[in-house]
Amino acid sequence: MKNIEQLVRPNIWALKPYSSARDEFVLDDDGTQAEGKEQTLVFLDANENPLGSVGDNGANNRYPDPYQRKLKEALSPIKKVATENIFLGNGSDEAIDLLFRIFCTPGQDRILITPPTYGMYQVSADINHVAVDKLLLNEDFSLPVAKVLEQLGKAEYKMLILCNPNNPTGNAIASTAEFEQILQAFEGIVVIDEAYIDFADFDSMTTLLDRHPNLVVLQTFSKAWGLANLRLGMAFASTEIIGLLNKVKPPYNINGITQELGLQAIQNVAQKEAFVATIRAQKEWLYTQLSQFDFIEKVFPSETNFILFRTTQPNELYNYLVKHQVIVRNRSTQPLCAGCLRVSVGTEAENKRLIELLNSR
Ligand SMILES: *Cc1c(COP(=O)(O)O)cnc(C)c1O
């Protein structure tokens, strides 16, 4: 990897971040606003409303902790990542956007992605006016590692963004050893998006963080944790990269209610695991059922909470399902995904409904 300063946009490297009221005054050494002491302290530093909040809605008149320290402390043992290597964003989409803003100079820098993959990488690049080169996955949706390495040598890429397990295909695209080979060879930042890691049969690449300061691992509360509505995403990386994300983010990017509800969720890992077990069992059932239709040519194995399948009539099937109030994702225009629909694993009743509709077609 290059020296981090060589990778960061010069204006971001030089940036003096906004210093919020809660940055300048902290109560404890660890920065938390200790309970109890709040009563004796008079907070006249942040122009908040001293009387309370309008509405009976659990809101709070005080600005939230800009660094979400309690949440990170609770998350650290679960993820086996030190708090200083954790960043929390307003969805992982915020982390993706911030990484572009930190590393990629608009109109100048380029990144590499490997379609078919998650659509936000391209959108975020376009918003930031960053060029995107694309190298297709293999026909079996695995990562063509040798070709990726060759391509990375052809231009001064700032970032490589990979999704594992991959959306919309559902598979693991490479082994840990292969990711490590790329991390070693590439001079820039490698982002591995693990939005579906809770459903996968393999471990997170966070175990590689110690050895690879150019690695960023993204995870989210939107899928297995069932908190898509909250907007809470995680990025795990070197302290240098986390420092840059903190410098560039809006000061209070995670609101107080989200911090509170995120903390409650983390204290109930067992429920998340129970959800995962149920969804995995339902996925097996769906996989078997979908494999029996003669108009479905291929059902792709999945390490996620969705299944991609190839049919002879994707648009007809999609419209037929919509007509009967079942909405799936039509991925048939994506590269390597001709004829493909993607279906999220639903409840037992929802999955049965889908199969019934396919049966009575
Ligand atoms: C769903 C998903 C996310 C989650 O994004 P959030 O902003 O955290 O909701 C990220 N990456 C991929 C590949 C996804 O499919």
Residues 6+ away with beta carbon under 8 Å from 335? 115, 116, 134, 136
Nearest to 50 by CA among 39, 61, 58: 61
Question: Which tokens sit at 254?
Answer: 């995670």
166 CB near ligand 1 (under 6 Å): no
Q: Measure 56 CA to ligand 1 centroid, in angstroms.
A: 32
Q: Measure 114 CA to ligand 1 centroid, in angstroms.
A: 16
The C-alpha R_g of the chain, in whole angstroms, comes to 22
Reported confidence tier of residue 31, pLDDT bands at 50, 70, 90: very low
| Residue of 120, 161, 164 with the most ligand 1 atoms within 8 Å of its CB, for mutation | 120
| Over residues 223-247, mean pLDDT | 98
pTM summary value: 0.95
Q: Measure 100 CA to ligand 1 centroid, in angstroms.
A: 16
CA distance 217 to 163: 10
Nearest to 136 by CA among 154, 115, 118: 115
CA distance 179 to 228: 28
pLDDT digits (tens, 9 = 90+) for 126-145: 999 999 999 999 999 999 99
Residue for token digits 């991925």? 331
pLDDT digits (tens, 9 = 90+) for 40-88: 899 999 999 999 999 877 778 999 999 999 999 999 999 999 999 999 9
Q: Measure 80 CA to ligand 1 centroid, in angstroms.
A: 21
222 CB near ligand 1 (under 6 Å): yes
Q: Measure 119 CA to ligand 1 centroid, in angstroms.
A: 10
Closest C-alpha residue for ligand 1 atom 5? 92
pLDDT digits (tens, 9 = 90+) for 308-336: 999 999 999 999 999 999 999 999 999 99
